[in-house]
Amino acid sequence: MNKFLIQIAIFFGAGKSPKAPGTVGTIATIPLWYALSHLGPIAYMAITFALVFVGVAAANAYEAVSQKHDSQEIVIDEVVGFLITMTWLPVTWQSLLIGFAVFRILDILKPPPIRQLDRKVQGGFGVMVDDIAAGIIGSIIMQIIYNQTNWLGMQISTLTPG
């Protein structure tokens, strides 16, 4: 079980990338996002929520072996953060590109309160919490973009005939 959790922590090797492992981990999440998007919003959110707990366990397992807090090789946090960012969005190339950029910018720059969470919370939850916060903020930004523009592709009208 511990070996499997470590594989989840590094998202099956994506975290071992010598350059930009967080970005590689986010890119590696795209097929998972695509598959989950076709299961419907309830299943998408349930699986993403479950991955938060799996991610905490995986990050704890990796930290126990490596003796390092929040190693760059741990990318399950990016996986979960990106999935959160992409919640309730259309499956279009526009939403993918904009959502990817929004999440990576938030994850890299770590504006408040993300930075404070990153610095103060320890353990597996500490590894996950800053990316969860980046995902939530990213999701809010993406929902504003989706509801106020046509940048994400075709939108469903909220007007009813009448």
In-domain check, residue 111:
yes
In-domain check, residue 158:
no
Residue 112: φ, ψ to 5°: -60, 145
DSSP assignments along 64-107, one per residue: HHH--TT-TT--HHHHHHHHHHTTT---SHHHHHHHHHHHHHHH
Range of the domain at 56: 2-148
In-domain check, residue 153:
no
Spatial CA neighbour of 23 closest among 108, 89, 130: 108
In-domain check, residue 110:
yes
DSSP symbol at 16? G
- What global pTM score does this model have? 0.92
Burial of 8 (0-12, 13-18, 19+ CB in 10 A): buried
In tens digits, what is the pLDDT along the chain, a chain of 162 residues? 799 999 999 999 999 999 999 999 999 999 999 999 999 999 999 999 999 999 999 999 999 999 888 899 999 999 999 999 999 999 999 999 999 999 999 999 999 999 999 888 999 999 999 999 999 999 999 999 999 998 888 644 444 555
Q: Into how many domains does the chain fold? A: 1
In-domain check, residue 154:
no
DSSP assignments along 103-143, one per residue: HHHHHHH--TTHHHHHHH--HHHHHHHHHHHHHHHHHHHHH
Dist. CA 137–CA 132, nearest whole Å: 9
Exposure on the CB side of residue 71, measured as CA atoms within 13 A: 20
Dist. CA 102–CA 145, nearest whole Å: 11
